[in-house]
């Protein structure tokens, strides 16, 4: 996914000959109750807008994705599932707007063509990531309590829903194929206050041989970034011909920042770094197979 991001990003800039030297770079705190105004350039200029994770949908007014077949003042370049999009003005004094559906909330962006101070890059960040004082201290005891809460999520939801009010829950079912075994991502929980994502996975061993792994090496990958586990609840053994559950969590970013990652991203789960390259190849083949089946249908 990271390679696709890089290729599409370079394609926009290299083929179109855009110049970013005179443009501004901005950071905006996510706030669904405010209208965010972005100045966009015309001619040799493009604005790239980034969110913390994948977008759910984009709706626009006076915005088109193909200027040859539709009329509008702004041209949008966006691939579903990406966490960024690029936009440029098609004429002077253009005005338009975008509604961005992200993390189950809608963010309103007003677009304005500006030759003097267009934004080359706009990054939306969580307000929590810009205020260290508001970030909770995530100790080992806190992480243990998050694992316990994830395990008892169904009971909390039924009897004490207020205890999980800030938890984003996703029932996934996504499968990841390795040479020796496979992984099913069963459930994903994001605890917003602790900036922690908890995974419940199923380790599937269809062979007649026991598989041993190191729980300390468990990690989740998103794009090119690998987030190693902050805590695990896993045995380190996958018995022959069995499917066993395991839990682990990721907290923050590898550099110590706030990740603000949504639970509904398309994750890759790493159990053994040695198997990672093989898993990439296997899952690429599986995706190509599904694409062919969809085209045939």
Residues 121 and 50: beta-carbon distance below 8 Å: yes
Lowest-pLDDT choice from 62-76, 115-129, 137-151, 251-265: 115-129
Mean pLDDT of the chain: 81
> Between 3.30.70, 2.40.10, 2.60.40, 1.25.40, what CATH number should domain 136-276 receive?
2.60.40
pLDDT digits (tens, 9 = 90+) for 67-87: 777 788 999 999 988 889 999
pLDDT of amino acid 245: 97
Closest to 122 in 3D by CA, of 51, 26, 205, 34 = 26
Which pLDDT value is given to residue 81? 85
CATH of span 2-127: 2.60.40
**What distances in angstroms separate CA 161 from CA 86, 149, 165, 263, one per listed residue?**
39, 12, 6, 19
pLDDT at 21 over 50: no
Domain extents in the chain = 2-127, 136-276
User: pTM of the predicted model, to two decimals?
Assistant: 0.53
Express as a percent the part of the chain with pLDDT over 90: 41
Tens digit of each residue's pLDDT (9 = 90 or more) over 140-194: 889 999 999 999 999 999 988 888 888 999 999 999 988 889 999 999 999 988 9
Same fold, 2-127 and 136-276: yes
């Amino acid at each position: 996914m990271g390679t696709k991001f890089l290729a599409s990003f370079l394609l926009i800039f290299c083929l179109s000959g855009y110049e970013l030297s005179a443009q501004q770079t901005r950071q905006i705190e996510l706030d669904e109750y405010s209208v965010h105004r972005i100045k966009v350039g015309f001619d040799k200029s493009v604005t790239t807008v980034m969110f913390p994770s994948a977008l759910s949908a984009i709706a626009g007014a006076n915005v088109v994705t193909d200027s040859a077949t539709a009329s509008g003042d702004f041209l949008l370049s966006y691939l579903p599932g990406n966490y960024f999009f690029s936009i440029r003005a098609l004429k002077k004094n253009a005005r338009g707007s975008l509604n961005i559906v992200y993390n189950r909330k809608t963010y309103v962006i007003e677009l304005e063509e500006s030759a003097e101070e267009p934004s080359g890059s706009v990054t939306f960040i969580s307000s929590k990531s810009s205020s260290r004082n508001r970030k909770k201290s995530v100790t080992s005891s806190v992480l243990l309590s998050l694992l316990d809460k994830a395990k008892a999520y169904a009971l909390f939801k039924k009897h004490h829903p207020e205890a999980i009010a800030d938890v984003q829950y996703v029932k996934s079912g996504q499968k990841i194929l390795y040479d020796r075994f496979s992984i099913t991502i069963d459930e994903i929980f994001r605890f917003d206050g602790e900036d922690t994502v908890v995974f419940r996975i199923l380790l599937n061993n269809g062979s007649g041989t026991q598989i041993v792994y190191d729980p300390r090496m468990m990690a989740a990958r998103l794009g090119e970034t690998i987030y190693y586990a902050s805590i695990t609840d896993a045995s380190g053994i996958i018995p022959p011909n069995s499917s066993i559950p395991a839990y682990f969590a990721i907290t923050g970013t590898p550099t110590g920042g706030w990740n603000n990652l949504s639970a509904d991203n398309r994750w890759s789960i790493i159990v053994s770094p040695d198997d990672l390259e093989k898993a990439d190849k296997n899952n690429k083949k599986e995706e190509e197979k599904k694409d062919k089946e969809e085209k045939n249908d």
